[in-house]
Chain A
Amino acid sequence: MIPGDFDYLRPKTKSEALVMLRDGGDEARPIAGGHSLIPMMKLRMAAPEKVVDLGGLADLKHISIEKDITIGAATTQHQLIESGALFDACPILRETALLIADPQIRYCGTLGGNVANGDPGNDMPALMQCLDASYIIESASGKREIKARDFYHAAYFTALETGELITAIRFKTPEAGHGYSYQKLKRKVGDYATAAAAVTLSMSEDNVTGASVALTNLADTPLYVAEAADILTSSPLSADTIKEAVKAAEAMMAPAADGRGSSEYRTRMGGVMVQRAIEAAVERADKTPKKGGLFGWLRG
């Protein structure tokens, strides 16, 4: 499979890249890791006339952890996995990145490419909705910020305009001792999710004090389950509140029937992923009573 002809541009700085994208208009596409774009170009489903390579831009590769965590868009999935400081502050990033594709692809694939791509199968968008991340977007004429929860309109349709680049992703550093889990059902290593769920939450004894739930590949966009937080925090955690949160999530799901299963099957599996992710997150949260109490009945 040979891609169509194109012109290749290799900017040395971010501002050079932004000018190239502005001048290229609709015919220009940025390339980061290339592991979504090149397969599409080989299938001739994408045929940009100009490809602007972000590979040489050091100012898009960084991880900073303060009150907020800020990650440069061209940071690779491998670099996310490797960072011990990032794992300490926000371990669900490594857990999720490790479930994406395979080692070779993770050396190339970037966080920015994953969230900009707009394929409902990508795993990072739901995680970014779960963490309430904002995407920092720049163009030759300015800078704006948009929440991951508002970014996705339909499969491959996002809020990104021609000439714009996501330059960084930022979210509040989760509180120490929070519980987290990314649960992904897939047929094999390197497969996109049949269904997946991201959960973060905080506990105080048997009470959930804050929670966030988002879903991958269960509709034509990632889904943030706004209701789940209210359900989980409204009364002491029980098998019933978990069931209710699962129901709220399932009510939003509308997965396509594909090689991974029928829409009904994938919805059911989506529910199972949400349940497992909540239970794992509860178990991991520091302030969960570790013996008896909650776990007596939760497991029983």
Chain B
Amino acid sequence: MAKRLIKLTVNGDEMEVAVEPRDLLIHTLREQLELTGAHIGCDTSHCGACTVDLDGRSVKSCTMFTVQADGAEITTVEGMAHPDGTLHAIQEAFRQMHGLQCGFCTPGMIMRAHRLLQENPTPTEEEIRWGISGNLCRCTGYQNIVKAVQLASETLSQKVAAE
């Protein structure tokens, strides 16, 4: 099928991208835009490694056609750090709490934690576990991921209080 031009805002950059209707968002991000942070873990909407933030929702980009995202604002893990390279509070918390081992699930975990903390800035441990239940990790046993999200929640709330 002929390609069509769609508009996306990815990590703050407005762009036009030519895609086939059947192109999946994860493929557009990784192969056309060379944003390889979001990973393909299962390709069956189970693992969450491909999670990106799209118009205020966490979505599994392996289960969305890029054309469905026409006009959307997307944030991937590449868009989280500050322009000067300092890590985002969630990334810093994952580093400090050892919230990763191989790192394969981490971009998806961070993007999911990002949306969760926007909706619920001070989640309980149980709310965090429910909130990341669509993201699988084969390494950490989740303990340190939960601790990282707790730390990020504290840091971000202190920042809000200070402002």
Residues in chain B near residue A55, CB distance under 8 A: 68
Residue in contact with A51 in the complex, picked from B4, B21, B133, CB distance below 8 Å? B21
Residue-by-residue, is B115-149 near A (CB-CB < 8 Å gives 1, otherwise 0)?
01000000000000011011000000000000000
- Give the nearest-CB partner of A76 in chain B: B57
Q: Is B75 an interface residue, CB under 8 A from the partner?
A: no
Q: Is A190 an interface residue, CB under 8 A from the partner?
A: yes
- Give the nearest-CB partner of B23 in chain A: A2
Across the interface, do A5 and B1 meet the contact criterion of CB distance under 8 Å?
yes
Q: Is A35 an interface residue, CB under 8 A from the partner?
A: yes
Q: Is A104 an interface residue, CB under 8 A from the partner?
A: yes
Of A6-14, A124-132, A156-164, A200-208, which stretch is located at the interface?
Answer: A6-14
Q: Is A78 an interface residue, CB under 8 A from the partner?
A: yes
Q: Is B39 an interface residue, CB under 8 A from the partner?
A: no
Across the interface, do B22 and A107 meet the contact criterion of CB distance under 8 Å?
no
Q: How many interface residues does chain A have, given as a range?
A: 20 to 34
Q: A102-B133, A104-B60, A189-B134 are in contact. Are A4 and B68 (CB under 8 A)?
A: no
What are 28 A-B pairs with beta-carbon distances under 8 A? A1-B44, A2-B24, A3-B22, A4-B22, A7-B1, A8-B21, A8-B65, A31-B68, A34-B63, A34-B65, A35-B45, A38-B45, A41-B22, A53-B68, A102-B48, A102-B134, A103-B112, A103-B116, A103-B130, A103-B133, A103-B134, A104-B60, A105-B45, A108-B59, A108-B64, A189-B134, A190-B133, A190-B134
Nearest 10 pairs of A and B residues by beta carbon? A102-B134, A8-B21, A107-B57, A189-B133, A104-B134, A3-B22, A8-B67, A104-B60, A104-B58, A38-B63
Knowing that A3-B22, A7-B21, A35-B63 are A-B contacts, what are 18 other residue pairs whose CB atoms are under 8 Å apart, sorted by A's residue number? A5-B22, A6-B22, A7-B1, A8-B21, A31-B68, A38-B24, A38-B45, A38-B64, A42-B43, A51-B21, A103-B116, A103-B134, A104-B51, A104-B57, A105-B45, A107-B59, A189-B134, A190-B134
